[in-house]
């Protein structure tokens, strides 16, 4: 991890950077050599499909492993930058990452192929599961298993959330945790429509971040 200032400059990358750092200590020869050759479209498709079908509980860890460690298409730095960008953009992060990365390598076809590689296989899998669920979802044993998995999934999301929140709590400035808390209460507890809550909270949060830059 860099010093305090570089962490700050990374902004949204704080959280992702920490999560990445916590996953990256294994098998990372530093510095990673730059891309040796430009991946072809089939290469891109296979890599993103592999990321997708390996990624249980989220694909971030696998995308890093594949792009940086196995294929060496990006350096760790490049990956962190690209991911920070994609986390800043709304919507699914790694889906955005596939588009940004695919475009850099092979333009529009690259973006399309990486995207379809990432989304295609789970789309097929989950549609089949949806079909089975529609038929067998009421079976009691399956219901109990799904309840267990749901509880674990909630736990996993909380674990990720805690990793993201930790740097905020270390900050002496208490505003960021208060903004996070207000967002949680408005959207999670009071169940306000997300649009109304964010129309107030996003400008407020950015203004406060700007004021203490």
Residue 37 Cβ vs other proteins, minimum distance, rounded to whole Å: 22
Site for other proteins in 98-137 (CB under 8 A): 99-100, 103-104, 108, 111, 115, 118-119, 121-123, 125-127, 129-131, 133-134, 137
Q: Longest Cα pair distance anywhere in the chain, in angstroms?
A: 56
DSSP 33: P
Site for other proteins in 148-167 (CB under 8 A): 148-165
Site for other proteins in 19-38 (CB under 8 A): 22-23
The pair of three-digit structure tokens given for residue 46, joined into one six-digit string: 């296979």
User: CA–CA separation, 70 vs 63, rounded Å?
Assistant: 10
Nearer to other proteins by Cβ, of 71 and 121: the residue is 121
**Residues 36-75, mask of contacts with other proteins (x by CB under 8 A):** ----------------xxxxxxxx----------------
The pair of three-digit structure tokens given for residue 68, joined into one six-digit string: 């940086």
User: How many CB atoms sit inside 10 A of residue 150's CB?
Assistant: 10
Binding segment for other proteins (CB under 8 A), chosen from 27-35, 39-47, 68-76, 82-90, is 82-90
Contacts of 59 (CB under 8 A, 6+ apart): 51, 52, 94, 118
Cis peptide before 31 (omega within 30 of 0): yes
Site for other proteins in 169-208 (CB under 8 A): 176-177, 179-184, 187-189, 191, 193-195, 198, 201-202, 205-208
96, 105, 106, 113: which one binds other proteins (CB under 8 A): 96
User: How many CB atoms sit inside 10 A of residue 17's CB?
Assistant: 21
């Amino acid at each position: 991890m860099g010093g305090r200032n570089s962490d700050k400059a990374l902004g949204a990358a704080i959280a992702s950077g920490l999560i990445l750092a916590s996953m990256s200590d294994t098998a990372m020869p530093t510095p990673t050599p730059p891309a040796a050759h430009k991946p072809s479209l089939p290469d891109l498709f296979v890599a993103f499909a592999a990321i997708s079908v390996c990624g249980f509980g989220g694909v971030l860890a696998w995308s890093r492993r594949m792009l940086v460690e196995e294929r060496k298409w990006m350096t760790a730095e490049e990956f962190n930058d690209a991911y920070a960008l994609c986390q800043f953009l709304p919507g699914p992060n790694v889906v955005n990452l596939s588009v940004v990365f695919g475009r850099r390598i092979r333009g529009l076809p690259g973006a399309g192929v990486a995207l379809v590689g990432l989304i295609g296989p789970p789309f097929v899998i989950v549609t089949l599961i949806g079909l089975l669920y529609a038929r067998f979802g009421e079976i009691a044993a399956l219901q109990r298993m799904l309840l267990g998995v749901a509880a674990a999934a909630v736990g996993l999301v909380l674990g990720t959330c805690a990793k993201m929140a930790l740097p905020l709590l270390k900050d002496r400035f208490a505003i960021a945790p208060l903004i996070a808390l207000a967002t949680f209460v408005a959207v999670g507890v009071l169940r306000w429509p997300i649009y109304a809550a964010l129309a107030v909270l996003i400008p407020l949060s950015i203004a406060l971040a700007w004021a203490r830059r």
